[in-house]
Each structure stands twice: as structure tokens, then as C-alpha cells.
Structure 1
Amino acid sequence: METKGPNGMGRPVRRVVIAGGGTAGWMAAACISKVLGKQLDIRLVESDEIGTVGVGEATIPTLLNFHNLLEINEQEFMAETKATFKLGISFENWRNVNEDYIHSFGLTGTDHWTAGFQHFWHKGRERGLAGDYGDYCLELRAAQENKFAHLPRNGMNYAYHLDASAYARYLRKFSERLGVQRIEGKIVDVTTSALTGHIRSITLDSGADIEGDLFIDCTGFRALLIGEAMKVKYQDWSQWLFNDCAAALQTASAGDAVPLTRSIAHAFGWQWRIPLQHRVGNGIVFSSRYVEQDEAIAALQANIVGEPLMKPRVIKFTPGQREQVWKGNCVAIGLSSGFLEPIESTSIHLIQRGIVRLMQMFPANGIAQTDVEEYNRQAATEIEHIRDFIILHYKVNNRLDPYWRDAREMQVPVSLQHRIDLFRQTGRVFRVPNELFAENSWIQVMLGQGIMPLQHHQTADLMGDAELSHFLGAIKGQVDKTVAQLPAHQAYVERYCSAPK
């Protein structure tokens, strides 16, 4: 019989069941056990027979914050996951064929309190005093030169390229040391309460029933708990995000690892290239409306470097999100909650944010509907901002292929159209509170995709040529000096975190 606690919010949460492993499941297990493990019984159910998507091998700098929370040793983690450093993403052929740019993780130039650096740069370009926008960003210039080092006072913003399967194994060991119990088995049934609608237990193919107070759905696109059992509908965003398939394969390394994810546009989608210490992750993301699967895979195989280590593995998906990611006593984390596409390496970030948000609202004394509603509100707002940023890459282009032409002509969310119009007319970018991508990310992609502001802030007009030239030159000079002193990325990785042979 279901009972209410003294606070009217239902029973206290003492038993946490994580359904599914992979990156999402073991990130959840690691964080919950690190923070609350002494107070909870945490069990993770996964089957060795069920593969994981496992292609989320590029990350963004927020993962460093997650690792700091867990007190993870970076060198140990990088050695075990055969990781390399990442300073940004190289977008090749996106605006048009043979036109490339880099979206880096760094800050560009120096802002004034009235106006961002882009206004001073824009004025400098008008006067013939400024170089490329990227000349004033340390991370971007280091990426171009294939260099990297840790700098004092966290002076270099970076992320990782990693082996996603090895990362899950690493976090499994981490979690089990903290008391998480792994249970092998396939989920064949989910029992819910007729009274509350909450999940009471999951049944495995062995016949075992796993009961819990809080269930975390990490079952990937299958969404066995949040979708099938809890009947939460899925919002389809394919009217803005055309891609619905990906094919992944791995190749042997054929050169030094670069500190960049390469994103190479094709007529019907784009291709990724992610360098690890021991191999390279490759894949192609495409829309089945514009190309046949075999043709897309052939394009991928024709554009790889190094010996293939596997046959291409196809993944089909629908871009979008769940209408609720927390319902009753079920929280969806990872692909079960929604998926956009790999373009800006946000999948692991969204896993991380879902877990951290759950820890901040953890229902130790019983589930409060107000917490559920706030969690869902924050999750929806966050993914919608990321959605807009990703749509931007497709909306603004000069390519002639039908896929890109249709993307350019589509109606985008009003929120995104406002940002585009604002930057094009005034050069201004304003960050929404708690938004993942900061102003400089929007600026780099808008400029990279070909949007040049029609005007700049009048503060930049107050500088004469000599003053503006000195201002810009001093920033560029400091960037150039620092980059010149950096070691090669490959050599730094080999010294710092080389994986055991």
C-alpha cells in the first residue's frame, strides 16, 4: 500500500534505482554515490547484451566542473579513457564550400562595460586595423597551431576527446568503490502503482524484481521508464533539425592528435573526426529525407584517414525532448530525456546538468510536486536555448545543396530569429541567464556563418586610429607570445597522461 509521509509528499527516498548504464547511467551513479552514497541504497541495472550508443566522444568545458565535484584526478581519468584535449570545433564547409571557421572555448579580446570586444574589432576592420576575429583568442590560435598546455590561473579553457565506453567503465569502478551495486539483467517489465502512478519496481529477465523509491531512466532512446511506463510524450523538433541518422566507425590514428573536433559539412549533413590517443572516432550525421543510408556511409568511408577498425554502426534518432523529464518518481537522464544532435558536443553536458539539478533538488524527504515542476521548467528552458544555438549553424549558410537551401529558408523559433536580427543589425549579443553558450560562442558562430553586423557601438568611435591600433595590437601580441611558448598538443598529452600500452 502506498503511504504519504508526514509532510504529505510521499515516502522518503532511500532506494535509488538507475535503469541502464553507459555514460548517463554511470555519471548518475558516480555523482549520487559521491554526494549522498552514505545515506542511500543505489543500484544500477544494465545488461552486457545491450550495447550503448557510445559515440559521445567529444565534450565541452563544463565536464571539468563535474569532475571537480567528484574530485576526479585528471591525469588518471585521461590515461584510462585515452583522452586528448579539445580547444574547440573546426567547422569546415559550413557557411559555404571551402569556407571554414573555428568555434573555440576561449574568450576573444577584452570587453568594455558598455560593449563587447566585437564592436571594437568591427571598427578596426572598417579602418583596416584589425585581423581575423580569431586572432584575438588564445584558445583558437593554439588550436590552429596544434598546441596545448595547462596555464596558471586556469588561463586556457578546454575540454576533452575521450573513449565513451572507457569513460563508462572508469565511472563504474569509481561508483562501485563508493557502494553502488551493479545488477546484470535486461528489463522486461515495469510495475507502477494504480494509486499514485509511481514506479514500484522493474522486473528483469532473470525474474528478479528491483524495487525503489526513485528511478532514474538511462535506457537511452528506448526510454523504457519515462516513455513506455510513464507515458510521457516526446516533442519532435525535426522541423528545425533535419538530421535523423548517424553512422559511426573508428579508425587507427594516422598522425598527431589535434586539439580540435573536426566537423566537415557534406551536401546532406556533416561528418565528425575526433582524435583520441589510440584511435580516431569518425561518423556522419545526415537526414534520411535527403540521402540514402548507403550513400551517406559511402561518403564517410571515402573521407576517413587511417585504417578502419570496425564496420559503420548506424544510429537512428528523432531530435527533440520529452514533455516532462521528471514525472512521479521517475527522472530521465541522457537520451531518454531527449536528443538534439552531436554538432556542439552537448549530450554529455545535458547528462551532467540533469544529474546536478537532481542533486540540488534531491527528494530525500519525499517527492514534492513543486520540485518536479521546477526541474522540468529548468530542463526545458536549458535545452531550448541549446536547440536554438544548434539551429543557427544550419539556418545561416550560403550553400546551394537542397538540404542547406531548405535549412536556410525554414522558419526558425522566434527566440533564435531575434538573436540573429539583433546581431545583424547592432552587433549585440545578450546571454540568457543560466544559458550554456556564452556571448562569445554566439559571436564566433554568427561571424563564422557569415553574419557581419551592420553597425557597432559608438564607444568604439571614441578611439582614434592610433589608440585602437594599440588596443588591438596589444591583445594580439599577447596571444601570439603565449601561443609561441606552448608545446605541441601531441607531445604534451604523451608527457601528461599517456595511456598504458
Structure 2
Amino acid sequence: MSGAPGHIFIAGGGVAGWMFALAAARALAPLGVQITVADDGRPDESLGAQTPALSTLPGAQDHHHGLGLDDLDVLRAARGSFKLGERHTGWAPGADTVLPYGDTGADIGPVRFHQQLMRLGARAGDMDLAAYSLAGEAARLGRFAPPSPDPASFLSTLDFGLHLETAGYARLLRAAALQSGAKALEGRVMSARRGDDGALTAALLEDGRAIEADVFIDATGERAALISGVLGVGWESWAAPGFDRIASTLTQEGAAPAPLTHNQADAAGWVRTIPLYGARSDQLVFASSAMDDAAAIGQLGGAASVSAFNPGRRTAPWSANCLAVGAAACRPDPLASAEAHLAASAALRFLKLVPHGDGGAVEAREYNRVFEAETGSVRDFAAHAYLAQTRKEAPWARARTLQPSPELARRMALYAARGRIMRSEDAVYDEAMWAAAFIARRVQPHDHDPLANGLDEAALKHRCEHIRQLAAQTARRLPAHGDMLAQLHGRAP
């Protein structure tokens, strides 16, 4: 290759394939680079099997702007609703907690807000961080408004993600990519030819066609037709011991959706409910030792599909001239809410590392390095939920035998000592989200940060109570989430 690659071939459509095509076409098509997507038209499994809907992290809007998409168009195309955080029930006896997005309380210099509450004697089992968060209070009340751009407004402390139907989202991305210069090719990629140097030279379709290209993008989902099937790149499993099956369904829903994703644990597994506008998606992650497929289908209403569940990541997603994206590269646990984030991050990061004449060996090493750090954060955030839960049933007891990564073990030790949280390179979750997770999972540090002892207790108590009241009062004045969606969608559910 000389300069930018002449032809980028994307094996597989869906959200992962068409999102990559859109990013590449916007940046590279004007340079004469050909972008081709082989899309077989089958149900989208590019982000993993049993993923009928997506629950995104804050930052999805930034990715959309980077892709030239309008958030309102995304919402309307994908039956979207807003997400102010995540609700967790059943992970500990009597626990019903909300992990809110946006600001929680307010730091005082280096003293984080949760340290202030601990200074006042609050313990993890009684601490309700969501009560000091506008997003948390609005979520509980079923209310929503966009954040204010005015930093002096309390409404500026709110942040949000999105709930999106996967199929509608993929259609929007496809239309935008084609409009930006990408080309669609109907067909299913099964394998590829390799040259003497080990690089791919042509993708082989099910009907016998061979498509030559310079760079190959594997967006074939967990099938990983190129990165695994041809190049043999290995898979690092993150599965919590025993939780090996996943079922899903998408049903019509007339009620106004809650601005929260709900993760509800029971004896054999847990259900993730993603509320859309006019529909809802339920995913059930379960242990086959405690529940068979028929029972799982029955729990979801009798119309679900079921498959194996093995979250994890590819050991080297960019190998030779092939880059895996979506579930071919990483299948996060749904608890991480990271499927869309990782797909967008992959596409936008590739554009900073477009390979040149040497085949991209240097760029591949850097891409894989950042990928390892980013996906490690995703792995650890979900893993901690399994480690911290206190259910007694056999599948859950077995899940607690999951071996934490060295990074997660370090993070857990820091928090257990004095409630400290340090941000890691390329971390997907900020310090406030980790604090909310530790507290929601009832992790009690041995002590608090000694810097908090320098704060006047009476003044601190007054300040925290003022924040709590302000969050509650502001949330009550916001429009109902359902009314906001009806206005934006321009129709009833």
C-alpha cells in the first residue's frame, strides 16, 4: 500500500459494520478510498447474539456528532428513549439501587463527594448517592430534560445515555454511510484468501465471489469469520463462572418508558430490561446448571431466542491487515453497557491510525494497546458486580469465584482501604461511576480519606442536605420522560 489504503472491505453489516463504514466513508471517501460493506441482510448480531436493543453510556452523543449524526434522527429511527442511569435490584438482600449518570453531589477540592458522606458517618448499606444526583432523582420520578449548557445551572450536572433498538439504529447508520460514499454488497463472508506474507488478499463470499481489498474489517459478530476463522486470533473469556447462556426478546410496550435500564437478579440469573419508545427489550443471562432453555424462554414470555454466552475479547483485534470490530473483537457483558461505545471507539480510533505503506504494523500495535486498556475497563466494571453480589444460590456463589484482573484487584484494594478511586488510562467509566458502583454494591471501606477530616462537620452536613434538596426540587420541575419523548418522536408510542 502507498498512502491511504485503496479499498477497505467490511465483512458484515449491522451496527458495527455500518458504523465503521460511516466513519471511514466520511473521512476517507473524499480521498478516493473505496469503502465496501458485505451485508447478508440477516438479523444484526454484529454486537453479539441476543442484542435486540442497546443501552449506551454517556458519550454516545459525542460519538454521533463525530459521525455526523443528529441525536433526534437517531432517537426517531431507533425507537429511542433517554437513560439517566442503571437500576439494580436483587443483587443483595433488599437492595434496590440506582447508579446515576452526571454529577453526584460536589467535590471539595481533592475530597470526593462520597468521602464527604463517609466523613459524616454514612455507611455503604445506607448511603444513597442517587439522592444527591439530579439524574438519580429524575430517574426515580420518571422525568427528563436535556442538560443545560450554563454551568451555573443545576441542570448542567445531568448527563444521559440512550436506549436504542438495534435494527432501527443499524438502518440509520447504513443510510448515512451510503449517503457518505460507502457501497453495499449483498452477500455473506465465509472466509478469505491469504498471501505469502500472511495478510488477507480477498474475502470469499458464500456464493463463491472473491473480493480483493487492502484492509479487511471483520464485523461478523461472534462468528468472527476473518479474525478467528482465517487468522486464528485467540479469544480471552470473561464469563462469570456458571453463567453460560443468554436469551432475549423484543416486545411491544404501550407504557411510557422509564429513563433507566433495569438489571434484576433472581435465583438462576438476571434480566436486563431496556425500555424503548413503544417497545421493550429483555435479556436474560442465566446459568444452564440452574435453568434450561425452555424455562428461560418461558420467563421471557415464551417467544425468546437463546444462545451460548461467552463475553470476552480478541487477544489482538488488529492482526495483519484485518481489524475486528463489534463482537468479533469484544463481547462485553451487558452489565457494562459498552457495546455501542466500543463499536464507535473502534471506528474513530482507526481513523487516527490509518495504515500506510508498511502495512500498518506500528499502527496495529498502538491500536491493540489502547484496545486492551479500554476493554479492560469494561471487563472490570461488569466483573465487580458478580464479585460484590451476595446472593446465596449456587450459580451466584460460583460467580463469586471469578478471578479479578490485577487492575480490578488493585482498584478494589484501594477502595476497601479508604474509599479511594484512581482513574486509569483509557478508562470508560469515570471516578463518580465507580464510586456509585462500589456504594450500590455495598462495599464498605475500612476508613475514609483523612483529608475529609479537615472539613467542618456542621457546615458539611448543611451543604450535603442543600444538595439533596436541590436535586429533589429540580427533578420535580422537569417534564415527564414520556411527554418529552412524545414531543421528540412526534407520535404516541
Q: Same fold (TM over 0.5)?
A: yes
1:74-473 alignment to 2 at 5 Å? 74-96=71-93, 98-126=94-122, 132-153=128-149, 155-193=157-195, 195-238=196-239, 240=240, 242-301=242-301, 311-473=303-465
Deviations 1:63-118 (A, max 9, x none): 1111111231221221111111011111110123x311111212211112322111
* 2-structure distance, mates of 1:197, 1:56: 37
Q: Relative to 1, partners in 2 of residues 1:49 and 1:445: Cα closer, same or farther, differing over 3 Å?
A: closer
C-alpha deviations, 1:290-346, integer Å up to 9, x for none?
432222333333xxxxxx7xx211132322211110011100001111213211211
After superposition, the Cα gap between the structure-2 partners of 1:429 and 1:258, relative to the gap in structure 1 and judged at 3 Å, is same
- The AA in structure 1 aligned to 2:298 is A
User: What letter matches 1:227 in structure 2?
Assistant: S
One-letter amino acid of the counterpart of residue 483, structure 1: A
Residue deviations 1:14-36 (CA, integer Å, cap 9, x gap):
10100000110011011111222
1:71 matched to which residue of 2? 68
The one-letter code of the counterpart of 2:227 is I
Identity of matched residues, %: 27
**In structure 1, what is the equivalent of residue 57 of structure 2?**
60
Shift of 1:467: 0.7
Question: What is the TM-score when the length of structure 1 is the normalising length?
Answer: 0.91
Paired position in structure 2 for 1:305 = none
Structure 1 residue 50: deviation in Å? Answer: 6.0
C-alpha contact 1:12 1:213 (8 A) present in aligned 2: no
2:153 — aligned with what?
A: none
Aligned partner letter, 1:163: E
Distance 1:57 1:49, change over 3 A: closer
Q: What SS does the corresponding residue of 1:152 show, helix, strand or coil? A: coil
Q: Which moved more, 1:117-126 or 1:178-187?
A: 117-126
Given the alignment of the two structures, is residue 30 of structure 1 paired with residue 18 of structure 2, yes or no? Answer: no
8 Å contact kept, 1:42–1:179: yes
Higher mean C-alpha deviation, range 110-119 or range 25-34: 110-119
Q: Which moved more, 1:417-426 or 1:323-332?
A: 417-426
Compared CA separation, residues 197 and 499, structure 1 to 2 (3 A):
farther
Give, in whole Å, the separation in 1 of the partners of 2:207 and 2:401.
Answer: 53
Segments ≥4 residues shifted beyond 4 Å: none
Tell me if the contact between 2:102 and 2:157 (Cα under 8 Å) persists in the aligned partners. Answer: no
Q: CA deviation at 1:410?
A: 4.0
**Corresponding residue SS for 1:102:** strand
Q: CA deviation at 1:464?
A: 3.1
- Kindly indicate whether the alpha-carbon contact (under 8 Å) linking 1:274 and 1:280 is maintained by their aligned counterparts in 2: yes
Q: CA–CA distance in 1 between the matches of 2:67 and 2:405? A: 37
Partner of residue 486, structure 2: 494
Q: Is the 8 A contact 2:336 2:379 kept in 1?
A: no
Counterpart amino acid of 2:218?
A: D
Once the two structures are TM-superposed, the CA of residue 383 in structure 1 deviates from its matched residue by 1.0
Q: Which amino acid aligns with 2:71?
A: E
Distance 2:319 2:95 in 1: 45
Q: Which runs of 5+ in 2 are unaligned?
A: 150-155
Question: Distance in 1 between the 2:423 and 2:241 partners?
Answer: 22
- Matched residue type, 2:133: C
CA-atom RMSD in angstroms? 2.1
Q: After superposing the two structures, state which structure 1 stretch, 357-366 or 259-268, moved more.
A: 357-366
Deviation at 1:230, TM superposition (A): 1.0
Q: When the two structures are aligned, how many residues end up with a matched partner?
A: 480
Partner SS state of residue 94, structure 1: coil
Counterpart CA distance in 2 for 1:294 and 1:350 is: 32
Per the TM alignment, residue 241 of structure 1 is displaced from its structure 2 partner at its CA by 5.4
In 2, Cα distance between equivalents of 1:136 and 1:51? 39
Structure 1 pair 500–330 and aligned structure 2 pair: CA distance change class (3 A): farther
